[in-house]
A and B are shown apart, each in its own frame.
Chain A
């Protein structure tokens, strides 16, 4: 059972002025993923338009994180097609068959997609600033001075200008996650993926990370967010998708999906979470 979001959302920001025929930022067609004999995704069809914020909700083990990790090819597809900005991720298609891309091509694709992890995964041996400048200098070969300037601006934007020379071990979880967001943004990605960004945080630290994400959404960044923060989804997202047992159960505007769900499984889930 799959649902495709066909109604343009009433987004009040971002690139909504672009023509209707624009290429979506993410397009998933019948995406399947199995780990051994376990089918985690059983044919997901989704579309994320430019400037749109999509939240993926669902019980743990529903496959939502796996779907997110497929978008930047941290996992490999079992079947289906997954496009980012019009290009297949991790593969090229010739004569109806998928061919694995060369690792260097995959790294180029990934450099365009930012990702924020549940466990932050800041590089423990580097300061906040070094974390942020590592990839632009090492991967993009940008000039150190330019990157450093941008990195300091980004750290300022996430409210951590004074922590640029701190190591991750000296930062709180919320601060680490904000550095991780700045690190992803330093690559100037066209798409940002968030994998339960606040799930590993103490409750009082969740707000500061959501604030940063809210600002980012307002700036027009295309975002796919796996989260259990229903309030955040309702407020910030243009599009909410409920996934359970590897299929999209319900998809649409957050106000509708999260407040007045049509499907009993969505209702049951929201009943437990709220």
Chain B
């Protein structure tokens, strides 16, 4: 056996396969792109001047701010609720797991739009809300409409719905952690809660984080449904403007451009998170966790198994 030196080992010139079909698709794509640009520039109904006027206007930017606020708050509620529900679902207490199953069944089984309407019309179901002893005296009560403002209704509708989806995401993450990890923790005398917090959840993050980024992107767009509650988020802000000036299409375009921009930013973040967490090999995993949680010094990974 002789070693082949680098100079002997030269790449041969291989004749590449021809792809005549590709040229057809290029031509079709070019024609379609030309048509699109043409119509965007020549169709005056797009009203690009109106778009340019409103895209950085105070009302639209305020709506954008509220959309982002709703997204963040609803996602925080969703993640916290999701972890709680996932843990309850996996509990040995039948009341706990039963409640979690019923919750997920209900909130995933009805459209979030309908749920938002229910919250918006909550006063039609319960005109007053009070705090007191079940079937007993009520200590404090208030008008439902003064408690559940459009903002609160939006938060409740989006957050409670998101909780159901996040519960499934978190549950999948927890179940992805090897059973032996739990057994080892139990054998060391750790309580169930401690095992979950210190051993299982940190390792479940690898499975939980990528779909959570996806959920956040979906949430940003779902907040547009809140326009039905007359809460001035991005879409409703645009609707308010076109209800007075009747330039519907330019204002919908304005809102869409912002949605597109923010989802693009989130997509980049999502891509980054997936690259960090969606790895199966332990080397990446430990490095990821070391960077994000433990702040440990980099380790040499010289010794493989």
Residues of A bordering B, CB below 8 Å: 72, 74, 103-104, 107-115, 117, 119, 121-125, 127, 130, 134-135, 138-139, 165-173, 180, 183-184, 187
A74 touches B305 (CB 8 A): no
Interface string of B171-186 (1 = CB under 8 A from A): 0000000101101111
B115 CB → nearest A CB, Å: 37
* Residues in B lying within 8 Å of A, measured CB to CB: 178, 180-181, 183-192, 194, 198-199, 202-203, 281-283, 285-286, 289-290, 293-294, 296-297, 299-305
Chain B residues closer than 8 Å to A74, beta-carbon distance: 183, 186-187
Minimum CB–CB distance for A119 against chain B, Å? 5
Question: Assuming the A-B contacts A119-B180, A123-B181, are A183 and B188 also in contact, with contact meaning beta carbons closer than 8 angstroms in the complex?
Answer: yes
A184 touches B297 (CB 8 A): no
Tell me whether A134 and B180 are in contact (CB under 8 A).
Answer: no
Closest A residue, CB atoms, query B290: A167
Taking a contact as CB atoms closer than 8 A, the residue among A103, A113, A125, A168 that contacts B187 in the complex is A113
Neighbouring A residues of B301 by C-beta, 8 Å: 169-170
* Pair A139/B188 contact, Cβ less than 8 Å: yes
Can you list 9 A-B contacts with CB-CB less than 8 angstroms, sorted by A residue number? A74-B186, A74-B187, A109-B189, A125-B293, A165-B299, A169-B286, A171-B305, A180-B184, A187-B188
CB atoms of A169 and B194 under 8 A apart: no
Least Cβ distance of B114 to chain A in Å?
Answer: 41
CB-based contact B183/A117 at 8 Å: yes
What is the distance, in angstroms, from A94's C-beta to the closest C-beta of chain B? 23
List, in ascending order, chain B residues with CB within 8 A of A180's CB: 184
Please measure, in the bound complex, the distance between the C-alpha atom of A182 and the C-alpha atom of B102, giving whole angstroms.
Answer: 44
Q: Does B303 lie within 8 Å of A110, measured CB to CB?
A: no
CB-defined contacts of A108 to chain B, threshold 8 Å: 189
| Most B C-beta atoms less than 10 A away, residue of A110, A138, A184 | A138
In the complex the two chains form, is A124's CB within 8 Å of B203's CB?
A: yes
The number of residue pairs between A and B whose CB atoms lie closer than 8 Å in the complex comes to 104
User: Are B188 and A121 closer than 8 Å at their CB atoms?
Assistant: no
Given contact pairs A166-B299, A169-B282, A170-B303, enumerate 8 new A-B contacts (beta carbons under 8 Å). Answer: A117-B183, A122-B184, A124-B181, A134-B198, A135-B190, A167-B282, A170-B301, A184-B188
Given the complex of chains A and B, what is the CA–CA distance between A194 and B218 in angstroms? 49
Residues B203 and A121 in contact, CB atoms below 8 Å apart = no
Alpha-carbon distance between A8 and B188 when the two chains are bound, in angstroms:
31
Report chain B residues within 8 Å CB of A173.
305
Q: Is the CB of A117 within 8 A of B184?
A: yes
- Are B187 and A72 in contact, with the CB atoms below 8 A? yes
**B299 A103 Cβ-Cβ under 8 A:** no
Closest chain B residue, CB of each to CB of A115: B187
CA distance A110 to B286 in the complex (A): 28
Tell me whether A139 and B189 are in contact (CB under 8 A): yes
Q: How far is it, in angstroms, between the C-alpha of A125 and the C-alpha of B304 when the chains are bound?
A: 16
B296 touches A165 (CB 8 A): yes
Highest count of chain A CB atoms <10 Å: which of B188, B190, B199, B301: B188
Q: Are A172 and B303 in contact (CB under 8 A)?
A: yes
CA gap between A166 and B303 in the complex, in Å: 10
A162 to chain B, nearest CB (A): 11
A134 closest partner in B (C-beta): B198
Contact partner of A111 (CB less than 8 A), chosen from B189, B282, B290, B297, is B189
CA–CA, A108 and B191, complex, Å: 9
Instruction: Rank and list the top 9 A-B pairs by shortest CB-CB distance, nearest first.
Output: A111-B189, A169-B282, A121-B184, A135-B188, A167-B286, A121-B180, A115-B187, A110-B189, A139-B189
CB distance from A212 to the nearest CB of B (A): 18
Nearest neighbor of B179 in chain A, beta-carbon distance: A121
